[in-house]
A and B are shown apart, each in its own frame.
Chain A
Amino acid sequence: MSTIKQLISIGCRLFLAWLFIYASYDKVWYPAGFAVSVGRYEVLPLLLVQPLSVLLAWMELLVGFLLLAGVWTRAAALCSAGLLVMFTGLMLYAWFIGAGYDCGCFPGQAGEHAAGLEAAFRDIIMLLPALWLTWLPGRWLTLKRTT
């Protein structure tokens, strides 16, 4: 793989690692707040809101650390792409129903990131590095050779 492609891969990896760790630490440590955010979308039955909000938060954290370490990069990137596709769908749904609530994406920024078209566009942009890494995970600054 060429130097340029390695540089792009490491840039994408560190950016996504930062993004997912930053987005998840508060959700993992204070799961009740994130469960409230998930419930606000009204897409899950009451019984699934808390288990799935916990799973999402921990997936974000785990994916973030795997990307940071460069371990299982391709699989972690695939998971991050899956998460971002799901988030994009949720944001489009929120836009469709005209919801104006906070998207619950990042900690301590209530009201600054409304769920809707703008957030969906942002998620699609973030999907690009995830797709790149799924294709070309890169080998620079990794704890393990990626496959």
Chain B
Amino acid sequence: MSESIFKKTILRALLIVAAAALAGLFFNLLAPQGLGLLPPEVSRPLWKPVSMTDAADLRENGAMFIDARDPGDYKQAHIRGAVNLNREEWDKLYPLLEEVLRGAPTLVVYGRSRSRHPAAWVAQRLRELEFADVRVMQATFEQWREAGLPVRAKRRRNN
């Protein structure tokens, strides 16, 4: 491959990337199903944030905790009394939990990660389903555990 062909190929490849970026930008600005910079549950939240300390107080006063992380993480350890309700299994889990959730005065959802905010998604869905008081804890499960707050962890088997 000659140097001129190599340069032309690199330039064209960069143009393809730029064209894809422009096409994606315009499509997402114009199409009703287009995405914004952040998911709506983060950019236009219907839920209220709550600090870890306030969340611990709410727990003492009967608030129900919802663990929005993946089921595997929940099984390993979770805030004591929390139920698992995650995005991937929403259709299966929500009907089973709805009655219990409706009976709680306040719902506190937790679960954060680098690329996702699963708690925000779950909280948004709950608000859309007309749950009045839905909060998202502004701390991770690990921070809760490090603070010495109540946790239920899977016991290791000693063989």
Chain A residues engaging chain B, CB cutoff 8 angstroms: 28-32, 35-36, 38-47, 49-51, 53-55, 57-59, 61-63, 66, 72, 74-76, 78-79, 82, 134-135, 147
- Residues of chain B within 8 A of A45, CB atoms compared: 114-115
Name the B residues within 8 Å of A50 (CB-CB): 35-39
Measured in the bound complex, the distance between the Cα atoms of B114 and A55 in whole Å is 20
Residues of A within 8 A of B117 (CB): 46
Q: How far is the CB of A104 from chain B (nearest CB, A)?
A: 13
In angstroms, how far is the closest chain B Cβ from the Cβ of A78?
Answer: 5
Jot down 27 A-B pairs with beta carbons below 8 A, ordered by A: A28-B27, A29-B33, A31-B28, A32-B35, A44-B115, A45-B114, A46-B42, A47-B38, A49-B115, A49-B116, A50-B35, A50-B39, A54-B27, A58-B23, A59-B16, A72-B16, A74-B5, A75-B9, A75-B11, A75-B12, A75-B16, A76-B16, A78-B9, A79-B16, A135-B1, A147-B5, A147-B9
B13 within 8 A of A: yes
Complex interface: chain A residues within 8 A of B11 (CB): 75
B residues in contact with A79, CB < 8 Å? 13, 16-17
> Which B positions have Cβ atoms within 8 angstroms of A?
1, 5, 8-13, 15-17, 19-21, 23-25, 27-28, 33-39, 42, 87, 113-117
Decide: B16 and A31 in contact? CB cutoff 8 A: no
In the complex, the number of residue pairs spanning A and B with C-beta atoms less than 8 Å apart equals 99
B24 touches A147 (CB 8 A): no
Residue numbers in B under 8 Å from A53 (CB-CB): 35
Closest 8 CB pairs of A and B: A75-B12, A58-B20, A54-B24, A58-B24, A59-B20, A39-B115, A75-B13, A39-B116
Q: Which A residues lie within 8 Å of B116 (CB)?
A: 39-40, 42, 46, 49
Contact partner, B115, options A41, A75, A82, Cβ 8 Å:
A41
Contact of B24 (CB < 8 Å), options: A42, A44, A55:
A55
Q: Complex Cα distance A53/B38, Å?
A: 12
Query: Which residues of A sit under 8 angstroms from B39, Cβ to Cβ?
Result: 32, 35, 50
Chain A residue with the shortest CB-CB distance to B116: A39
B21 touches A58 (CB 8 A): yes
Tell me, in angstroms, the Cα distance from A43 to B25 when the chains sit together.
22
Contact in complex: B13, A78 (CB < 8 Å): yes
The distance in angstroms between the C-alpha atoms of A61 and B1, with both chains bound, is 27
Nearest CB in chain B to that of A71: its residue? B12
Most buried by B among A28, A38, A46, A82: A46
